[in-house]
Amino acid sequence: MVTKEKIQTKKPTHCTIIINCLKKKCVDSSAHGLPRIFGTDLLGIRIIWSIIFSIGIVGAITIELIYGNQLLASNGLDSPAGRTRRGQLAIERRLVKNCGVRHHFFTNRTAGYWNALDPAIFMSLTTYFSYPFSTSVSIYETNLDDFPAITFCNLNSFNTSDENTANVLNKTLSENNLTLEINSSEESPAINEVQRSYKLLASNILNDLFLRIITGRATTETSKFEDLVFSCYFNGQKCDLRDFKRFYIFGFSQCFTFNKKFNSSTVIKKTSKTGPKSGLMLEIFTGHPGQQDLFVEKRGLYLAVHNNSAYPAINFEGIKLPVGTSAEIGIKRTFYRKLSEPFSKCRKDTFQVLSDDPEIYKRTVKSGVYTRKICFEICLLFKYIIPKCNCSDPRIQSSALNVHFCKTFKELDCIEEVRKQFDSEDLSLTCDKECPISCDTMKYTYQQSYSDYPTQYYYEVIKKQDNVKNKFENLTFDSFKQSTLMVNVFYQELSSTFVEETRLIRPFDLVASIGGLVGLFLGCSVLTLMEPISFIIELAYRLIWETYQTNPSQAEV
């Protein structure tokens, strides 16, 4: 006889289900301490492992705090206690910007809890989002390298032997009641009066030259290449006008650039030689004293070494060489590479123009070479000089100008007033958006040495040379020495120096610094981070399952 007995079981509560699921998950956890605590029925074992697990948590926080302080100190980011709030605000802004976290999530109370819970993690995040970087210096040797572009200009820019130049000079002097004799005084020193007159004459000569070029009337040049250069050699091979490019600039009328890259098909000269007697060697005639040095206070040559694809920024680079000397100029090349956003505000593609770029930036790039200094000059020109003076500063190179050069004393004085106003101010406050910093730049450094030129013996030899004696009516040693110079430009070494910024902390480094210590002390890993998700899924399943079960459960025996 089989009897049936109804066995009624009590339905477990939600709290019981949650506790049981949590215990089961702790027993199966990959964190080393939790299975030892919840997987045994012995109270003593539970107490021992609870103590060990607590020591592990405290140890992880302590070691990470020490590591965080060392990391800040090693990168110069350590700060007094009074800057803690600024650090909280910094990371708050970074996380909101980069991670889309709501701003109200980081209240003072939340940040305080976080900072108290684990200062090392907070400081690690603060350090990471301050974007620290390191600077490395590397030197690369080569056996064959491109020779740079060399630009030179005669400091004695008024060649009165040229008919057009002489006519413009005479006309400008007459219109402004000027003569060659300038009266100076203590209140108005000679240097001020001479330079003021020079700017007036140079502006009018450059304006006349551009007008003749535009209208096709520039049949004669202010001076020919052969009038300036009476010998030219590159690596021992003779060079001539075909190796140079002529261009015009304020204060020099015209300049010549050696080894200029016109387009992609231009063949750039290379060199495998270093030291004196290699590179470019020139002998220059700067003009007769008292005839081609009118309204200037110095005689000599301007020279700049620069990138082949661009013209030099004459107002901001280059050197000046005196007559009567032989100058040996050794050059070295250095590349600078900065990190762009978010490490700095520099721009990588400063050789390109985009449709949404500021107009001043576009004009700077089109002028031939982008530098922030040139951009500031063009910004000053279009924002202040042209609106106030109604003319353009001839010293600033810019394209697509629809206004004439300033070429009267009144207009030139207006320019000086504007410049005086801004020479003592930070132009970046006005032109920062229009003039970004370049991430990638290249710079040539010069090492100069001078010797007396010519010797008496060399003078006796060269004075018989046709293209020399034809320049002088009465050639003497003194007149030759006061009118000529020699220059030799060469590589000191066939190597390039790279100064490069690299990020100091990468995302992997941040994860490793925090997770490494947690794994060492607690045995936690990436898999451990998935356990809460697994716990939530399992708990939800059990709760839903129990909800849809019948209240009583019966079993027959």
Give yes or no: residues 402 and 515 share one domain. Answer: no
Angle between helices 409-423 and 190-214 (to 10 degrees): 110
Angle between helices 119-129 and 84-99 (to 10 degrees): 60
Dist. CA 462–CA 464, nearest whole Å: 5
Q: Give pLDDT, residue 235.
A: 94
**Does the residue 554 lie in any domain?**
no
Q: Phi/psi at 247 (nearest 5 deg)?
A: -145, 165
Give yes or no: residues 247 and 122 share one domain. Answer: no
Dist. CA 300–CA 325, nearest whole Å: 10
SS3 446: strand
Determine the length of the chain: 557
Give yes or no: residues 262 and 157 share one domain. Answer: yes
Placement of tokens 């939340």 in the chain: 110
Dist. CA 320–CA 446, nearest whole Å: 12
Give yes or no: residues 483 and 373 share one domain. Answer: yes
Dist. CA 365–CA 352, nearest whole Å: 7
Give yes or no: residues 333 and 452 share one domain. Answer: yes
User: Following CA atoms 94, 100, 105, 107 in sequence, which dihedral angle do they give, to the nearest 10 degrees?
Assistant: 30
Give yes or no: residues 57 and 155 share one domain. Answer: no
CA angle 227/297/173 to nearest 5° reads 80
Other Cβ atoms less than 10 A from the Cβ of 122: the count is 20
List the end-to-end C-alpha distance of the chain, in Å, as a whole number. 11
- DSSP code for 489: E
CA angle 458/461/462 to nearest 5° reads 85
Among 119, 153, 374, residue whose Cα is nearest residue 253: 153
Other Cβ atoms less than 10 A from the Cβ of 100: the count is 7
Bin 275: left if φ > 0, else alpha if -120 < ψ < 50, else beta.
Answer: left
**Does the residue 211 lie in any domain?**
no
Please check whether residue 232 is in contact with residue 238, taking contact to mean a CB–CB distance below 8 angstroms: yes
User: Following CA atoms 102, 103, 105, 109 in sequence, which dihedral angle do they give, to the nearest 10 degrees?
Assistant: 180
Q: What is the pLDDT along the chain (557 residues), one digit of tens a residue?
A: 444 444 455 566 667 767 666 666 666 665 665 665 666 666 766 677 677 667 766 766 666 556 555 555 555 545 544 444 444 444 444 444 444 444 333 444 344 433 433 555 666 777 778 888 889 999 999 999 999 999 999 988 787 777 788 888 889 888 888 888 888 888 888 888 888 888 998 888 888 888 877 776 665 454 578 889 999 999 999 999 999 998 888 878 789 999 998 888 889 999 999 999 899 999 999 988 877 788 888 889 999 999 998 888 888 899 999 999 999 999 999 999 999 988 888 998 888 888 889 999 988 888 777 888 889 999 999 999 999 999 999 988 776 557 788 999 999 999 999 988 887 777 667 788 889 999 999 999 999 999 999 999 999 999 999 999 888 888 999 999 999 999 999 999 999 999 999 988 887 777 766 666 555 555 566 556 666 666 677 667 667 776 766 444 444 44
Q: Give pLDDT, residue 229.
A: 94
SS (H, E, C) 3-25: CCCCCCCCCCCHHHHHHHHHHHH
Query: In the numeric block, which tokens belong to residue 460?
Result: 């006796």
Among 287, 65, 58, residue whose Cα is nearest residue 161: 287
Give yes or no: residues 246 and 364 share one domain. Answer: yes
Give yes or no: residues 371 and 416 share one domain. Answer: yes
Give yes or no: residues 87 and 173 share one domain. Answer: no
**Does the residue 540 lie in any domain?**
no
Give yes or no: residues 276 and 393 share one domain. Answer: yes
Number of domains within the chain = 2
Please check whether residue 267 is in contact with residue 251, taking contact to mean a CB–CB distance below 8 angstroms: no
How distant is the alpha carbon of residue 557 from its chain centre? Answer: 88
Query: In the numeric block, which tokens belong to residue 245?
Result: 């490019």
Please check whether residue 254 is in contact with residue 302, taking contact to mean a CB–CB distance below 8 angstroms: no
> What's the domain range around 511?
31-132+506-524
Query: In the numeric block, which tokens belong to residue 51?
Result: 């103590």
Q: Give pLDDT, residue 440.
A: 92
Please check whether residue 33 is in contact with residue 522, taking contact to mean a CB–CB distance below 8 angstroms: yes
Dist. CA 172–CA 180, nearest whole Å: 12
Give yes or no: residues 441 and 315 share one domain. Answer: yes
Q: Give pLDDT, residue 403.
A: 76
What are the angstrom distances between the C-alpha of 415 and each of 199, 206, 323, 394, 395? 11, 17, 32, 10, 10
Dist. CA 186–CA 183, nearest whole Å: 11
Among 7, 22, 61, 27, residue whose Cα is nearest residue 522: 61
Looking at the whole model, is its pTM more than 0.95? no
User: Following CA atoms 25, 27, 32, 33 in sequence, which dihedral angle do they give, to the nearest 10 degrees?
Assistant: 100
CATH code for the domain of 468: 2.60.470.10
Give yes or no: residues 460 and 315 share one domain. Answer: yes
Query: In the numeric block, which tokens belong to residue 288?
Result: 């007769």
**Does the residue 152 lie in any domain?**
yes
**Does the residue 164 lie in any domain?**
yes
